[in-house]
Structure 1
Amino acid sequence: MEKGKIVSIEDRIPKLKQLRKSKANRRLVLLLSLFFILIACVLYFLSPLSYVQSVQVEGNRYITSKQIVKLSKIKKDRSIWKVDTGSTVANIKKNPEIASVKVTPIFPNSIKNTVSEHNRMAYLSNDGKFSPILENGSVLEELATGEIPVFAPVLIGFKEGKALKLLLEELDKLPVEIQNAISEIHHAPTKTDGYHIVMFMNDGYEVSATSRTLSEKMIHYPSIVSQLDPKVKGVIDLEVGSYFKAYKPAEQKEDTNEEN
């Protein structure tokens, strides 16, 4: 090497120069990517691409998704990020059956309403019309014509008062599986028991009981039925002890014809 001549390290080590160039290229690509992403975001927020295109509903059991979407009052001429979630929640909760609501924007243009409903404990029957009764005791307006009672028994002969309140309290203590097994509950007071009821079960049995001890006695219903011949229907009496009385042949035949 000539005296006084300086040789750069990059000339002496070409790989180092190449590495530095690669780092610069990666930095440039990163900056350009961030720039284009920023531009894309701005265009997305300013364009109709972010406008509400669909409203989803989850968690509903009794109220239809269409009803909840209508209650939400979400408009499709605005960005999903500008939807007033507080107002949407308040609008949906105007329905007394709604316990809670969560509103979530979903990229690129959807809104999801996740709802939780109060359970319907029963349906109060009145002249062929049915009013849902919630777990909190509230009696709602009658169902629309053609709407069928589901997921809860129909109460016949009851009016708002002590008998109805006691029955609902006892039903609430029962497991959901047993609640769902009851088709109808008739208020059939006697001289000695103003809380006497007759229940018709989905499996074809009839149960005679009192609301006073309903939860205490009905908890054993699955065990009692498991010991009976499923082909022989009748009345399971739970008022005092618990015993089974089969229908007479004529009654059995009549019940079979009604089911057919």
Structure 2
Amino acid sequence: MSKKKIVSIEERIPKLKQARKKKVNRRLVFYLSIFFFLISIIVYLQSPLSHIKTINVIGNSYSADEEIIKQSKLTTKSNIWTINPSDIENEISKNEIVESVEVNRKLPWTVEIELKEFERVGYVERDHIFYPILGNGTTLGGAGQEHYNGDAPLLAEFSDEAYLLRMTSELQKLPENILNLISEIYWKPVDENKNKILLYMNDGFMVDGTIRNFAEKMEVYPSIASQLEPDSKGIIHIGVGAYFESFASPSDEEAEEENDEASSEDMETESESEE
């Protein structure tokens, strides 16, 4: 039998003490690291290092960056960790131009405010000044211009704000390609239909319609217009059903009458010849 090496307790004690000391040192380093880490966080949160340095506003066309930042109540002294994005979003949403808003932190020092504004759907004229009007009926009083440039429909004769609001709401729903076809919209209420409107289109046609469900009914316009001759003149009705009503010019009527008279004379000549 091989002899086993026997280690005395005196020889093992120093090794046990050394191992225990290393274990204690590792634990001490771990706790000290956590301690200094927490101290660093507290110092960071209480110091200017955690303050917002940049506020980016995205998606705004009608509202100035400064106006949105002022509404957000954010400053370069605001702590990026203590801000409440929901509260900021609710505050900015009070802006009648803003349809939706989202606030996000972009570490380490940036806050991003992303807006979606109501779209401009037309213009209204007041005292010979043309003002953009949005899909929620808001008129941009600070963006008036002396000349109508035709890049959106002109809404005319809407003396009742309630019907103007309904009209802009319908225009907001229109696809952009159809909205761009409209030149002017006139409110033409009658006793039996207060929603009656008359449209002048950029392709030369007129449209007789109604504000109620206008966006839905107007979807048929491109298909109807594409089936008509380019030189056709008339009104496309999109109220109850959809159809085209042509109106002939005086010269066309005279030519038609002359053709009818000529046909009558030919028939009389033929009758005399037979006799």
TM-score by length of 1: 0.62
Aligned residues: 234
Range 39-48 or range 78-87, more displaced: 78-87
**CA shift for structure 1 position 53:** 0.9
Q: 1:233 to 1:79 in 2, by over 3 A?
A: farther
**Are the equivalent residues in 2 in contact too, given 1:132–1:143 (CA < 8 A)?**
no
Q: 1:161 to 1:143 in 2, by over 3 A?
A: same
Distance, in Å, in 1 between the alignment partners of 2:26 and 2:182 is 70
Q: 1:191 to 1:81 in 2, by over 3 A?
A: closer
**CA shift for structure 1 position 235:** 5.0
Distance, in Å, in 2 between the alignment partners of 1:71 and 1:150 is 33
- Secondary structure of 2:103's counterpart equals strand
- Secondary structure of 1:38's counterpart equals helix
Distance, in Å, in 2 between the alignment partners of 1:103 and 1:123 is 31
CA deviation profile, 1:152-195 (whole Å, cap 9, x unmatched)? 533123222575356446545x5423453244323174989872
Distance, in Å, in 1 between the alignment partners of 2:7 and 2:170 is 104
Q: 1:37 to 1:146 in 2, by over 3 A?
A: farther
CA deviation profile, 1:20-46 (whole Å, cap 9, x unmatched)? 999888767755654554344233223
Amino acid in the other structure paired with 2:41: C
Q: For 1:1-260, what aligned pairs fall within 5 Å after superposition?
A: 1=4, 5=8, 34-60=34-60, 62-83=62-83, 85=85, 88-126=88-126, 127-135=128-136, 138-145=137-144, 153-160=153-160, 164=164, 167-168=167-168, 170-171=170-171, 174-187=173-186, 189=188, 195-201=196-202, 204-211=203-210, 214-215=214-215, 217-227=217-227, 232=230, 235=233, 237-239=235-237, 241-242=243-244
Amino acid in the other structure paired with 2:57: V
- Secondary structure of 2:143's counterpart equals coil
The structure with more radius of gyration: 2
Amino acid in the other structure paired with 2:235: D
Q: 1:200 to 1:113 in 2, by over 3 A?
A: same
2:262 corresponding residue in structure 1: none
- Between the two proteins, what is the percent identity of the paired residues? 26
Distance, in Å, in 1 between the alignment partners of 2:33 and 2:150 is 55
- Secondary structure of 1:187's counterpart equals strand
**Are the equivalent residues in 1 in contact too, given 2:184–2:199 (CA < 8 A)?**
yes
**CA shift for structure 1 position 55:** 0.9
Amino acid in the other structure paired with 1:140: T
TM-score by length of 2: 0.60
Amino acid in the other structure paired with 2:186: H
Range 47-56 or range 214-223, more displaced: 214-223
1:255 corresponding residue in structure 2: none
